[in-house]
Structure 1
Amino acid sequence: MTQYIIYFNQQWVGDHSEEWFTARGPLARAVVEEAKDAGVYVFAGGLDEDIDTAFSADATSGTLEFTDGPFVETKEFLGGLTVVDVPDVDTAKLWAGKLAEACGWPQEVRRVG
């Protein structure tokens, strides 16, 4: 089995009404429950949208430094992720597709090395 991370950038979500988001929550939770029932679920979660609460840890200078905010100034930031443990890339695509349909926005997939 191989783990894959399925994730999205918050900017991919787009502008939608509160009702639209409220309707999507149960769909996404249903996919997570389906993954649990299938035995492929490892982890899933949405990230805090307030990027100002992020911080970075950097030891590349030889001294550990903590800095407020993301490591690199960026317009895009991770919005949420799901990790699945599946037998092959085709199965990872299946779960990414289910999440994309449930959430209503694109998902990116990468193998965890």
Structure 2
Amino acid sequence: MAKYLISFPSAAMVVPDGELEAVGRDAHAVIEAAKAAGVHVFAGGIDDSVPPALVSEDGGVAQGGYPWAPALEGGFTVLELPSREEAIVWAARIAKACRCAQELRVFGVDPHS
């Protein structure tokens, strides 16, 4: 089984007025279904109110992330699934709930983790 990252940037989620509550309800229902199916690992979003910190190898800390990289933000779900096909099905369920397309990636296996 592989772990799949299903995600979207905040700007992708354009919710019509009055639908935000329904989006939240629908998204939480998909996560509850993933938990019930035993495939849920983690879900959440980047807290935009807390700026990133760039920590160097000597322990130094600079405010902000890599200046050359796009900002990391949005919503994330990690599911453990037996196939890419099943991951696509779950990503489609999340896309429908969130009213926006989802990016799908597989985590590489680190045998030491």
Both structures adopt the same fold (TM-score exceeding 0.5): yes
Using the size of structure 1 for normalisation, the TM-score is 0.84
1:57 lines up with 2:55 in the alignment: yes
CA contact (8 A) 1:12 1:105 kept: yes
For the 8 Å contact 2:14–2:99, the answer to whether it is kept is no
Offset, 1:74 = 5.5
After superposition, the CA RMSD in angstroms is: 1.8
Count of aligned positions: 108
- Among 49, 63, 74, which residue is 1:68 paired with? 63
Q: Tell me which protein shows more strand as a share of its residues.
A: 1
**Structure 2, unpaired ranges of 5+:** 109-113
Counterpart of 1:31 in structure 2 is 30
Letter paired with 2:56: D
Aligned match for 1:99, one of 91, 94, 100: 94
User: Equivalent pairs: percent with the same residue?
Assistant: 34
- Following TM superposition, the consecutive aligned residue runs of length 4 or more in structure 1 with deviations greater than 3 angstroms are 73-77
Confirm or deny: 8 A CA contact 1:58 1:65 kept in the other structure.
yes
1:2-52 Cα distance to aligned partner (Å, 9 max, x none): 1001111112123643x22122000000000000011100000122133x6
Residues 1:49 and 1:16: Cα distance change in structure 2 (over 3 Å): farther
Write the deviation string for residues 33-86 of structure 1: whole angstroms up to 9, x where unpaired.
000011100000122133x62222232xxx232111222356653211000000
Q: Indicate the residue corresponding to 2:4 in structure 1.
A: 4
TM-score when normalising by structure 2: 0.84
Query: Offset of 1:99 from its aligned partner?
Result: 0.3
